Amino acid sequence: MKIYSLYILNKAGGLIYHNDLNPGLARLSANDYLVLAGTLHGVHAIATRIRPGEPGVKQEDNSAVNNSILATGKAKSPNTNSSGLQHIDTDHFSLYVFQTLTGLKFVIVTSPPKAGTSPTTRAGTVSTHGELNRQVEAVGGVYKAFYVYYCDYVMKNPFYSLDMPIKCAMFDAKVKSMANVQISG
């Protein structure tokens, strides 16, 4: 798989960074990027609310979870990417959403997996759960690299204000260096 684009959304759903890494892609207008970010944020938020719970297990409300975090200083589950929209797979692209503990969302758009690498149903479209996990894990390594770049070049920049658009030449250069990375998954 090849990386097409990277989008970073703040915790309110605002687009703070976008970079189309593949020059052959059709460009969107500035307004279309903002609409895309808002839509992804909304779908992710809705998906976290409608996930099914375990039978017999009561889901805690947000205030109870927040009080627990304040009392102990720790979140119960460090995996913040365990609910909500995580992956969309189409014939033309795959989209992965990774959420940090602070609510920042990294959206990575890649080329679809190679034809014939994943089992299909009679409809010819669905991969197995194990194959999907391998794809998400492979892209997870790229996400971690982007997150390290974000921490090193954006968060340590004394001129950057939180939740504002990212304008950092070093971060752009590091993101663009990932443009030709082939993800094996």
What count of other Cβ atoms lies within 10 Å of the Cβ of residue 10? 19
Taking a C-beta distance cutoff of 8 angstroms, is the pair 6, 145 a contact? Answer: no
Whether 113 is in a domain gets the answer yes
Of the pLDDT bands very low, low, confident and very high (cuts 50, 70, 90), residue 49 is: confident
Whether 135 is in a domain gets the answer yes
First to last CA, the chain: 8
Report the domain count for the chain.
1
Whether 106 is in a domain gets the answer yes
Whether 97 is in a domain gets the answer yes
Q: Output b/e per residue, 155-185; b: 16+ Cβ within 10 A.
A: eeeeebeeeeebebeebeebbeebeeeebeb
Whether 183 is in a domain gets the answer no
Taking a C-beta distance cutoff of 8 angstroms, is the pair 132, 120 a contact? Answer: no
* pLDDT tens for each residue of 16-46: 999 988 877 778 888 888 998 989 888 888 8
Enter the tokens of residue 67: 């009080």
Report pTM: 0.76
**Beta partners for residue 109, in sequence order:** 5, 95
- What CATH number did the domain enclosing 142 receive? 3.30.450.70
Whether 184 is in a domain gets the answer no
- The Cα 144–Cα 140 span in angstroms is 6
Which range marks the domain in which residue 142 is found?
Answer: 3-177
Enter the tokens of residue 28: 């969107």
Query: Given this model, what pLDDT does residue 136 score?
Result: 76
Whether 41 is in a domain gets the answer yes
Which range (20-29, 56-65, 105-114, 170-179) has the least confidence? 56-65
Whether 161 is in a domain gets the answer yes
Instruction: Determine which helix (DSSP H) or strand (DSSP E) holds 133, and give its type and residue range.
Output: helix 129-149
Pairing, β 15-20 against β 94-99: unpaired
**Beta partners for residue 99, in sequence order:** 105
Of the pLDDT bands very low, low, confident and very high (cuts 50, 70, 90), residue 131 is: low
Instruction: With a cut of 70, say whether residue 91 has pLDDT above it.
Output: yes
